[in-house]
Amino acid sequence: MEIFGRFNQLSFEHQVIINGDNVITGSLPYDYTDASFSGNYEQSTVVSDCHWKSKTTLECLVKLNGEMAATLTF
């Protein structure tokens, strides 16, 4: 399973892509607060919990059915 993500620094839009399918799209708040997004991939629930390590480093923890699947750093 290939999991990767995108983060647009201008629009603050975050995406999670699994095996080429966009499963999560959402915009983070501009005030750098944490955000959580969810979606579905096949029969699995996908959650991306994002938090700012600093104002220049965003980390998103991706879970499939409650189990850690990937750490995305932007």
- Residue 7 forms beta bridges with which residues? 14
5: pLDDT confidence band, cut at 50, 70 and 90? very high
- Provide the whole-model pTM: 0.89
Q: What is the predicted pLDDT for the residue at 31?
A: 94
Q: What is the predicted pLDDT for the residue at 18?
A: 97
Cα torsion angle, 40, 48, 8, 19, sign: negative
Rounded mean pLDDT of 2-22?
Answer: 96
CB 8 within 8 A of CB 24: no
The Cα 21–Cα 47 span in angstroms is 15
Domain that holds residue 67: 3-73
Amino acid type, 74: F
Total of domains in the chain: 1
Q: What is the predicted pLDDT for the residue at 55?
A: 86
pLDDT in tens, 14-61: 999 999 999 999 999 999 999 999 999 999 999 999 999 998 999 999
